Structure formats: structure tokens, C-alpha cells
Amino acid sequence: MPTSTVQGSSHDDGQPTRLSVVMAVLNAAENILPVCQELADTFGADPSVEILAIDDGSTDATVKKLLEARQTLLPRLRIISHPKRLGKSAALRTGITAAKGQWIATIDGDGQDDPSAILKMLDQATSAPGTAPLVVGVRRKRNDRLSRRIATRLANGLRRRLLNDGCPDTGAPLKLFSRDLFLKIPQFEGVHRFLPALLGHYGAPLICIEVQHRARLHGSSKYTNFNRALVGIRDLLGVMWLQNRTHLPDHLTEH
């Protein structure tokens, strides 16, 4: 484990929480136990790390499997449910708002992300000087269908060119950042795909590290390439408007 310590809220036993791992899930019952097993293997023995699973209105046995995982794998797993599907960004915000740690790591619940990469990301973040950075786990070798890889490459290229965010993989699920800084930015469905631009506008340096991307354990993506593109273009225009209309001071002087 990284040796850096971060002051945050505490667990009931008084142990400071330095990191909250937030996982949004939707109809992911078949993936829950193997993903939680990996999370337990990576963080289960560290009382300064909490795991939050946010169920975004699943209609399958996702919540049942999460409860089973808490019983057998992750005794301190926190489970929060939406009454209906609100979207991934809403689920992440629910988890981040409820989180106790100063640092937030996000991870998908489909098994494509290796949670052990979060340890390296946290080490990079806590050793960086100045403003808390955004650390993105860039997926260099995507384990997806060719059509999705092409669509993602085109979308990332367009976002990078128009937003000048410097990130080659803005939609990467593995991200680590300051909880307080995230809660300052405007919230909308899709915000998780624009964190390099939005957090960067609030002064967060960007750190990109290469991470492993694996095949999905079970199920399929909840979005097609076509509806991703339509929603992405609309959101991109909105983020460009926000950047243009958000004016922040370089420094403050109190008299």
C-alpha cells in the first residue's frame, strides 16, 4: 500500500478514511461477486479505505448479490440504491456525496478494470505538489469490439481538440480525484466523461497512467455507439459553454 496519508472523515472505529472507492452498478448481478472479490483482495485489509456500491435502479439481483458480497467478502461495503435508473453520473455523485474519504476513486462494476491500479493512482496523487490532481487510468489496449474502439477513439479526439483537456481517454472508468473539488463542479448526466476539462478548469493538474483493460465478465454495455455519439455531442457543447461562462480568480486577497 502507498505510505502517504490523507486526513479525512473517520470510520466508526476512529480510523481516518483516506480513500473512498465508488462503483456505480446497473443490472450487474453476475459481475458483483468476482468484482467484489478483487476489491477485497486489494483493499479489504486496509481500514482507511471504504468501498461504496451505488445501485442505479437495477431490476435484477444486483442488490441481493451486493448484500451477499458484504456478508462474505467486504464486511464494510456500503450499499446505496436509487429508486429508479438515474444514470451513471447521478450514481457516482450519490456515492461521492456519501463518501468519507478525501480522495475518490471511481471504478466500473463489469470487471474490465483492475482495482489494484488504484493503489498506483493514489500514490501518484498524494505525492503530487500543489493542487490535488486528477489521475486518469488510460486504457491503452481496449478490450472491446472494434466498432466501439473506433467510436471511442473518434469521440476522445473530438473532445480533446475542442476542450483542449490534454487527456487521451476522457471516458476511462478508473479516475482518482479530490472529493471536495468534484463537488464544486456543475453536475449533469455525463459529467464523468468530462472530468479532465471540468476539474482542470478548477485548477486540478492532470496525471495519466496506463492501466490494464480486460474483457467484460458478463453482460454488455448499456449504451450503443449511436446513442453515445448523440448524447456526447450535446454534452460536449454544454461543457464548452460552461468553460466559457465560468470565471474563477487566479488568487484571492482578504483585507
Strand order of the β-sheet with 103-108 is 78-81, 49-55, 19-25, 103-108, 175-178, 134-139, 206-211
pLDDT by residue (tens digit) across 147-179? 555 556 666 666 666 677 888 888 889 999 999
**Averaged pLDDT, 119-126:** 97
pLDDT of residue 168: 85
What is the pLDDT confidence band of residue 79, given thresholds at 50, 70 and 90?
very high
CA pair distance 63, 181, nearest whole angstrom: 30
CA pair distance 65, 42, nearest whole angstrom: 19
pLDDT by residue (tens digit) across 146-155? 555 555 666 6
What is the pLDDT confidence band of residue 145, given thresholds at 50, 70 and 90?
low
CA pair distance 47, 52, nearest whole angstrom: 14
**Averaged pLDDT, 213-242:** 61
Mean pLDDT, the chain, rounded, equals 83
Asked if 208 contacts 120 with a C-beta cutoff of 8 angstroms, the reply is no
Asked if 38 contacts 119 with a C-beta cutoff of 8 angstroms, the reply is no
Cα distances (angstroms) measured from residue 200 to each of 37, 121, 207, 235: 34, 17, 11, 17
